[in-house]
Amino acid sequence: MFDLFHWFDLLGVAVFAISGTLLAHEKSMDGFGVIVLAAVTAIGGGTLRDVILDLPVFWVHDTSYFITILLTVFVTIIWLNYKPNFPHYLLQLADALGIAFFAIMGAQKALESGVPAMTAIIMGVLTGCFGGMIRDVLAREVPMLLKGPLYAVACLFGASVYIGLMSLGVANQHAMWIGGLTTLVVRLIALKWNISVHVFRYPS
């Protein structure tokens, strides 16, 4: 089971590394900038989660995460050099897949550490969103977390569904799949129809 979770974790890291690389390309960064942006996107949220939960930071003693990031960056760079005019929706899609993986993995790891369900949901949101927030700040963009179609809210929905299913006795693997798909579907629907949580009246 650990191996399955580990592979899911690496898949989430790869997807977020693609997201960071795409934005670095959009911002015309050099090679070092690409690696930094990809790395903080891929491991930033999980690092914050582990620090808050007082757990060993997951990548410190496991080089597979950095190997995954470097390989993903290398492949994405080659692809972008041949197809430089990528559609912007690919960045949003990569990000949506990333938060779908990490929101559930974050909630799952928090739940295993013995925290209450509400805390596990919050850890899921942080794991899914914080890496992307660092990426956007470094790229001088308004973080997706703070505006736009249901970014953190999608993580909140997915993590809540996962925790709820676990409390009902649903098998962990099934709960993770359903929670991840919930996160992805909510985010993609919000992107498709530009659904946001508005609280102010803007002129537009």
203 part of a folded domain: no
Q: What pLDDT sits at residue 1? A: 45
Nearest to 159 by CA among 132, 125, 197: 125
45 part of a folded domain: yes
198 part of a folded domain: no
> What does the alpha-carbon distance between residue 31 and residue 84 come to, in Å, rounded to a whole number?
15
Q: What pLDDT sits at residue 182? A: 97
Provide the domain limits for residue 126: 2-193
204 part of a folded domain: no
16 part of a folded domain: yes
Q: What pLDDT sits at residue 204? A: 61
Q: What pLDDT sits at residue 201? A: 80
143 part of a folded domain: yes
61 part of a folded domain: yes
CA distances to 62, 66, 87, 203 from 130, rounded to whole Å, are 21, 18, 24, 30
199 part of a folded domain: no
Query: What's the structural domain count of the chain?
Result: 1
**Using one digit for the tens of pLDDT, what is the confidence trace for 86-132?**
787 888 899 999 999 999 999 999 999 999 999 999 999 999 999 99
Task: Tell me the mean pLDDT in the region 36-40.
Answer: 97
Contact 40, 131 (CB under 8 A): yes
**Using one digit for the tens of pLDDT, what is the confidence trace for 155-196?**
999 999 999 999 999 999 999 999 999 999 999 999 999 898
Indicate if the pLDDT at residue 51 is higher than 90: yes
